[in-house]
Structure 1
């Protein structure tokens, strides 16, 4: 029979052979800690995996194919050819009549008057517009308000309405005079038959162009960096010299494109003076087809002349912009169409010489 001493475990620490050494955590070595943080070391590449070879230096560069670009270009050329064919082969245009009246005396006289009106109104308009722009940039609040009111008024009313008001100035003001406001007048004259159709057109178009020119000049002046003006003042340069040598050359880069658009618009806008019986290009054409009833060919004559003059003006605008763009970029000015044509002829000549040398 077992005694209580036989059932109870013996007192004291357990023997060394029964200590659970496998359960005690072992401290990690520095290599193990590094592997835990950075991951296992990379396996060395096997000799069977070759390293990627660099592409050959002389490999040809193949441009990306764009088939839809060629399809769209072919469709556009097809539509253009159809439009040209419909115009050239349409007998209603009466191209023989167009050729007969294209250089007629009446048409050329109307063209000369149109060009004169365009040059006069735009030149006077820019002179007055420069004054208005200076007033708008002035520190005087009265001058700023007057300039703003003028620009607001003339840009808000249609040009034809302005021309009709000036043409009927005699009904509004039978007499005009100079003198003291609300006092005696020193010079007075009657306005009946004072303004003829041509003078009315010049005054009306000049006042209209001045309102737009003022904003063009003001925008060009504001486009100049203020830091350059401060640097010029720090160097002790006079205001006149700063205006001539710093402000105007840089402002012209912003003024010329918009002024070119105004010039073309003024050329086409002179056609509204035909309602005042001014013998411009459109009115001269109208006189002809009122007698011959050949409306379409005479309108084609006017259209072609407008296209010719507009093309010449656009070409001049391109070269003026190019002149004022000198030094604007580090790459220099791009070649002109004439320079591109000469370069193309030289390349063609070199290729022909190379073929002959073979």
Structure 2
């Protein structure tokens, strides 16, 4: 079987060949019909936008909730924060991501009216961010607990408050040793962004489904989409590997792998 890559240089409007495969994407033809290659790369852009926004939400919430889960239960506030963060993790990691997307798109805006004004890609990014934050929270918790207990005692001996101890001593080290599992979560988020097709975000999976129906060239379409997903995940892997190399703490190589196992 031979591949017909010429399908990407056909117009999405009438199926006829266009002069330039990137006819509208790079302005090679002002009034040219968009090609399937245009559509493919625009869909890739939406995939990356949803994944990056979701990752930003997940990293912030995950770090906060993971930290809360390790607070010493010495006061009423700390106890409630531990309970709240535990409930957060158990709730969001035990509901399928597709169900969460539908909840954010169809249900929650009915109760939180300002969410109705948000575009669908924002709602999907929030759903992805909350879902992934529960997993990141567990990794941050494992990273904090992987640190020697002397770190916390040293912070206390220096007269630091609990908040200062976490800010200046515990979190700077814990966040570095959990970079390997964070790499996996970042790559998973790229792949999980495919659920955005369910609420009509024009990302790669939706492109593949619609383009395959229009062109009947499913092999070429899905190979191209698979390649772009793989490229995206590999790029994330390389970036995170560079960050890990630049921030590695001498003597914590074993602790890092232990943290990723939790």
Question: In structure 1, what is the equivalent of residue 120 of structure 2?
Answer: 197
Deviations for 1:58-94, whole angstroms, at most 9, x for unmatched residues? xxxxxxxxxxxxxxxxxxxxxxxxxxxxxxxx42xx1
1:136 to 59, 62, 69: 69
Question: Normalising by structure 1, what TM-score?
Answer: 0.56
Instruction: Please say if residues 177 and 249 of structure 2, whose CA atoms lie closer than 8 Å, have aligned partners that are also in contact.
Output: no
The equivalent of 2:152 in structure 1 is 229
Give the alignment partner of residue 256 of structure 1, picking from 165, 179, 189: 179
Aligned partners of 2:38, 2:157: CA distance in 1, in Å? Answer: 61
Q: 1:116 aligns with which of 28, 39, 49?
A: 49
Please list the CA deviations of residues 216-264 of structure 1 after superposition, one character each: whole Å capped at 9, or x if unmatched: 1111111111113323433445666644553234213431011110100
Aligned-partner Cα distance in 1 for 2:227–2:181:
24
Task: For residues 193-237 of structure 1, give each alpha carbon's deviation from its aligned partner in whole angstroms, at most 9, with x where no partner exists.
Answer: 545422321221121112112111111111111113323433445
**Change beyond 3 A, Cα 1:135–1:229:** closer
Q: Do the aligned residues in 1 keep the contact of 2:50 with 2:122 (CA within 8 Å)?
A: no
User: Distance between the aligned counterparts of 1:270 and 1:323, measured in 2?
Assistant: 28
- Go from structure 1 to structure 2 and tell me whether the alpha carbon gap of 1:260 and 1:320 turns closer, same or farther (over 3 Å shift): same
Cα 1:95–1:321 shift into 2, 3 Å: farther
From 206, 219, 225, the counterpart of 2:142: 219
Please state if 1:153 is matched with 2:86: no
SS at structure 2 position matched to 1:168 = helix
TM-score (norm 2): 0.75
Q: How does 1:199-348 map to 2 (within 5 A)?
A: 199-236=122-159, 242-328=165-251
Q: Which runs of 5+ in 2 are unaligned?
A: 11-20, 23-36, 254-262
CA distance in 2, matches of 1:99, 1:194: 35
User: Which has the bigger relative contact order, CA under 8 A and spacing at least 6?
Assistant: 2
- 1:21-55, Cα deviation, whole Å (9 max, x unpaired): xxxxxxxxxxxxxxxxxxxxxxxxxxxxxxxxxxx
Equivalent position of 1:163 in the other structure: 101
Judged with a 3 Å threshold, the aligned counterparts in structure 2 of structure 1 residues 118 and 196 are, in CA distance, closer, same or farther, namely same
Once the two structures are superposed, residues 306-352 of structure 1 have per-residue CA deviations (whole angstroms, 9 ceiling, x without a partner) of 1212222111122222122242379xxxxxxxxxxxxxxxxxxxxxx
Let me know the Cα RMSD of the aligned residues: 2.7
Contact 1:125 1:210 survives alignment (8 Å) = yes
Change (3 A) 1:257 1:108: same
The DSSP-based 3-state class of the residue aligned with 1:248 is: helix
Distance 1:148 1:251 in 2: 19
Partner of 2:29: none
- SS state at 1:109 partner: helix
| Count, aligned residues | 224
Would the aligned equivalents of 1:174 and 1:190 in 2 still touch at CA under 8 Å? no
Unmatched 5+ residue regions in structure 1?
1-89, 177-188, 331-358
